[in-house]
Structure 1
Amino acid sequence: MFSDYEYPEYDDALGDEPKRGVLWRVLGWVSVGLAVVLVGTSLVAYGTYRKLQGNITQEDVTAELGTHRPPKLNQALNILLIGSDQRNGANAKYGKAEGERSDTIILLHFSPGGQKAVGISFPRDSMVQLPSCKTASGRTIPGGLNMINASFNNGGAGCTMHTIETLTGIRVDHFVKVDFTGFKRVVDALGGVEICLPQAVNDTDSKLHLSRGRHIVRGDTALAYVRTRHGLGDGSDTDRIKRQQKFLGAVVKKATSNGTLTNPGKLYSFLDAATKSVTTDKDFTVDEMKKVAGSVQGMSAGKVQFVTVPWGAYAPDPNRIAWRQPDANNLFAAIRNDNKIQTPAKAQKVNVPPAQIKVRVLNGTDTAGLAQRVGDQLTARGYSVAGIGTATTKPSRTELRYGSGADQQAAALGQVAPASSPVADQSVAAGVVDLILGPDWNGLKGTRSTTIPKSSDAVTASDDPCKA
């Protein structure tokens, strides 16, 4: 438990010093737009990328990530976006708080081949089981039940990457951290962003005063729009997240429009303003960005979608939320498995009734309780589960091993339990099949969705801001 960290309360009035919580949710959304354009356009000369690289600060997070990480299952790209409220240097005018905190954690997922992108928002008030992590000074902080943003507050970007990987099973390739001063100049560099108000707003707290309908907003007004709680919606943080997603969609739409991409001056101004406020991992170099740019060339705003991790009430505290299961895990599984692969030739189907297949499920991963869960799923499908246990060695991928006389049973089980080709093993009891779960295990076929689940409140970058 992160017992030595106290969470400050934020009120809505900006006053003379903007509050860090709301500002960093804003900067997190802007960072998504930055990432989409920075890695998504191939219209900037390579020399310009080199120049922009000089604006970016880089960190080495290898030690924080450790060696026990989720496997990279495909060629998808996952970038973790973090909003930081660091108060030194140019950020000092926003307050005197020391250290860094984050209210924004977003995982941006690019499908293989640049076909689509999904931004997953992790609400800061989510109560989750955090893994242990290291601080910048090298001190190890034990894991425990806490708000998800405690991972960054205590261990920085590396700890947050480790937390997201542990909770979702998704391999995170890179992180992008955005600092405090970039919001206004990024929006202004785009020439403003279009919003649409369902009714007139006069909110003295956020200082938002606009009539009903469409508006092009810049710096201060854009900030007020995404931070107001009393002037729009039901006043909840999740309602504000939805509005911020729409704002982000407008940012991406504007940033990827012909008016920006085909105008070298506008494009460079946007990228220059954005990269001056960015920190990345040491491996996210300009060369890597150039490779990514080529892979997602031509992706339109309509292919960029934004969703929030499914959530519900957290009974012990009405001011916190809990992820709704199994919906959250189904979303994570869909992201993990998002890959464009050629369909192999169909193998001849083996028909053996589940009741005639004796299977022993062995856990060869670091995920506690995995064998028991899979065993329960097999039992529910009518299979004869002969035992649950831990593998003596950890395989690099899921395996099927069978004893004497169980070759057909192993082949039949392989049709629902993805694994390497079944192998005869004299150490396995006669008539029994051992299912040894490896780090690539993603569930029985038919258990989870193989596509990103549809969400009724999903936001797409091409959406008209005036349409509900």
Structure 2
Amino acid sequence: MTTSHRAAARGRRRKRGRARLALGIVLSLLVLVTAGAGWAYFRLSGNIDTFAADGVSGDRPDADASKGENVLVIGSDARTEGNSALGGGDKSDIGRSDTAFLLHVYADHRHAVAVSIPRDTLVDLPPCKLPDGSWTETRPDTMFNAAYSVGETAKGNPACTQNTVEHLTGLRVDHTVVVDFKGFAELTEVVGGVEVCLPQDVYQRDLDPHRTTRGARLFAKGEQEVSGHKALDYVRIRHGIGDGSDIGRIKRQQAFVASLLKKIKSDGLTPTKLLPLADAATKSMTVDPGLGSADKLISFAMSLKDIDLGNTKFVTIPWRYEGSRVAVVQPDADALWASLKDDRTLDGSDASGKKSGAKQSSPGGPTGTARSAPPVSGDGTAVAVYNGTTVTGLAARAAKTLAAHDFTVTGTATAGTRDLATTVIGHGPGERARATSLARLFPGAELKPTAGPGLTVTLGRSYADAPSAAPSGAPEPVPSKVADEARSADDDPCSDLSYG
């Protein structure tokens, strides 16, 4: 063999050696990546707790009514498993839903809206399963956050709250997620803090009104980043900021979640970012069995990645005060639920994911975006009508409307008061659901519990001044007050500083 041939052979051996080395490195990396993915899968799956699905009601809304998805998110104030160190209180307390919102992911997977339900909202709690296997009776006019403790166990509570939300909204809840104090605090640390904005300095007494002194300053006025325990303090503050109400706190929580989403989006959902985020999120999370594994949970989370921040909205269920509690305003709330069922955004746009050329019905004509809301039907329910104004013939007009919607009018008369501003729907024990349906015929009407049985309508000036207020079965737009007060995830955190 010549010298040139030997040199060429040595070159080929060196190339083969380098190729084998490169292949070995690639194979080693693949093994490490595969092992790492397996480790991550088992770690995340081991973090996830699921609640008992046998507590979910058998009487549920139609699963095919909407092509979008509804996710109930519950913030629990339970003090178990280390949460008392962050929130104080009784360590054995199984807790209540300190905050809750229904997240509707539209069928096009490019829009989403979170509807907050105030914890003091008066609702009917449907039957819920107890640890001994029995079911409770329906509890009318009960605070919404009580649903989380009716089940008497941490594993049973989410199902009861889910049943209550489905009963309230008529929407099928596809998934339910519960996050406690500890999980929330850790999540904010993993993302490196969340930007918030305070309208004023906030002190310890603002968090705990039982303090006799103002205490140390917790937050300075203006923009800042918070994480961990401090982030938890921020979203829990109620007194001494804004109007001191739970509604104000809800607005602040909506702004916080919006800012959190903005931070996560800006960081990007890369594997290096996603793993610690998923690890923190799952450590103190309880979910329904449908999200009970790492692959299901991550797959769902990744399905949301195309939703733009500007298309992610936060609103509160239409409400008003009823004494010291919160009442749902009808027919505004039903109009909101109908829009979600039809996958219409707050501004009425079609987010069903259908091709733009498809024919659809809408309030504006045959080529619009919305489908008809279900008409009100009394099914023979007895109602007594009273005229609470000086406008003659008002009770007769209302009676005619009620009869057209299959209510049985037992009589009409003049009310004891003639200067009623707003129509009042009176309802006996266990009849709130029927009263809620009846209220759709009288926009802005107030619901009022009565000691005796039966339904009554006492007409106010609101009905007299709106003779065509009764719905005709046409699609109801989302009330402008709800749409106008919506917050987008990309809003400036310093906008609407008082948050109530």
Q: TM-score range by the shorter chain?
A: 0.5 to 0.7
Match of residue 229 from structure 1: 238
Match of residue 125 from structure 2: 130
In the alignment, is the contact (CA less than 8 A) between 1:334 and 1:452 conserved in 2?
A: no
In structure 2, relative to structure 1, the CA distance for the partners of 1:103 and 1:369 (3 Å cut) is: farther
In the alignment, is the contact (CA less than 8 A) between 1:305 and 1:460 conserved in 2?
A: yes
In the alignment, is the contact (CA less than 8 A) between 2:336 and 2:478 conserved in 1?
A: no
* Alignment partners' CA distance in 2, 1:279 and 1:456: 34
1:369 pairs with 2:378: yes
In structure 2, relative to structure 1, the CA distance for the partners of 1:305 and 1:48 (3 Å cut) is: farther
Deviation of the 1:346 alpha carbon: 8.6
In the alignment, is the contact (CA less than 8 A) between 1:70 and 1:165 conserved in 2?
A: no
Deviation of the 1:134 alpha carbon: 1.3
In structure 2, relative to structure 1, the CA distance for the partners of 1:466 and 1:139 (3 Å cut) is: same
In structure 2, relative to structure 1, the CA distance for the partners of 1:124 and 1:345 (3 Å cut) is: closer
* Alignment partners' CA distance in 2, 1:47 and 1:297: 24
In structure 2, relative to structure 1, the CA distance for the partners of 1:67 and 1:240 (3 Å cut) is: closer
In structure 2, relative to structure 1, the CA distance for the partners of 1:307 and 1:194 (3 Å cut) is: same
* Alignment partners' CA distance in 1, 2:82 and 2:95: 14
Task: Tell me the number of residue pairs that the alignment of Structure 1 and Structure 2 aligns.
Answer: 345
In the alignment, is the contact (CA less than 8 A) between 2:57 and 2:163 conserved in 1?
A: yes
1:175 pairs with 2:205: no
* Alignment partners' CA distance in 1, 2:319 and 2:126: 20
Q: Percent identity?
A: 38
Match of residue 297 from structure 1: 305
Match of residue 307 from structure 1: 315
Question: For residues 162-189 of structure 1, what are the alpha-carbon distances to aligned partners after superposition, in whole Å with 9 as ceiling and x for unaligned?
Answer: 1111111000001101123212211111
Alignment of 1:177-256 (within 5 A): 177-206=178-207, 208-256=217-265
Deviation of the 1:232 alpha carbon: 2.0
Deviation of the 1:341 alpha carbon: 3.2
Equivalent AA in structure 2 for residue 261 of structure 1: L
* Alignment partners' CA distance in 2, 1:46 and 1:452: 50
Deviation of the 1:451 alpha carbon: 9.8
* Alignment partners' CA distance in 2, 1:451 and 1:71: 26
Deviation of the 1:275 alpha carbon: 0.7
Flag the structure with larger Rg: 2
CA RMSD between the two structures: 3.5
* Alignment partners' CA distance in 1, 2:296 and 2:315: 26
Match of residue 335 from structure 1: 340
Normalising to structure 1: TM-score of the pair?
A: 0.65
* Alignment partners' CA distance in 1, 2:122 and 2:405: 37
In structure 2, relative to structure 1, the CA distance for the partners of 1:336 and 1:90 (3 Å cut) is: same
In structure 2, relative to structure 1, the CA distance for the partners of 1:89 and 1:196 (3 Å cut) is: closer
Equivalent AA in structure 1 for residue 282 of structure 2: T
SS where residue 90 of structure 1 aligns?
coil
* Alignment partners' CA distance in 1, 2:405 and 2:329: 32
Normalising to structure 2: TM-score of the pair?
A: 0.61
SS where residue 240 of structure 1 aligns?
helix
Match of residue 100 from structure 1: 95
Question: For residues 5-37 of structure 1, what are the alpha-carbon distances to aligned partners after superposition, in whole Å with 9 as ceiling and x for unaligned?
Answer: xxxxxxxxxxxxxxxxxxxxxxxxxxxxxxxxx
* Alignment partners' CA distance in 2, 1:243 and 1:346: 37
In the alignment, is the contact (CA less than 8 A) between 2:377 and 2:407 conserved in 1?
A: no
Deviation of the 1:74 alpha carbon: 2.8
Alignment of 1:3-402 (within 5 A): 48=40, 51-91=43-83, 93=85, 94=88, 95-145=90-140, 146-155=142-151, 156-206=157-207, 208-257=217-266, 259-262=267-270, 264-284=271-291, 285-293=293-301, 295-314=303-322, 318-338=323-343, 339-342=352-355, 344=358, 369=378
In the alignment, is the contact (CA less than 8 A) between 2:378 and 2:406 conserved in 1?
A: no
Match of residue 8 from structure 1: none
* Alignment partners' CA distance in 2, 1:453 and 1:102: 26
* Alignment partners' CA distance in 2, 1:288 and 1:77: 15
Task: Specify every segment of 5 or more residues in structure 2 that has no aligned partner in the other structure, as ranges.
Answer: 1-35, 152-156, 208-215, 344-351, 362-373, 383-396, 409-470
Match of residue 448 from structure 1: 476
* Alignment partners' CA distance in 1, 2:379 and 2:42: 46
Select 2:485's aligned residue among 454, 457, 460: 457
Equivalent AA in structure 2 for residue 329 of structure 1: D
In the alignment, is the contact (CA less than 8 A) between 1:113 and 1:295 conserved in 2?
A: no
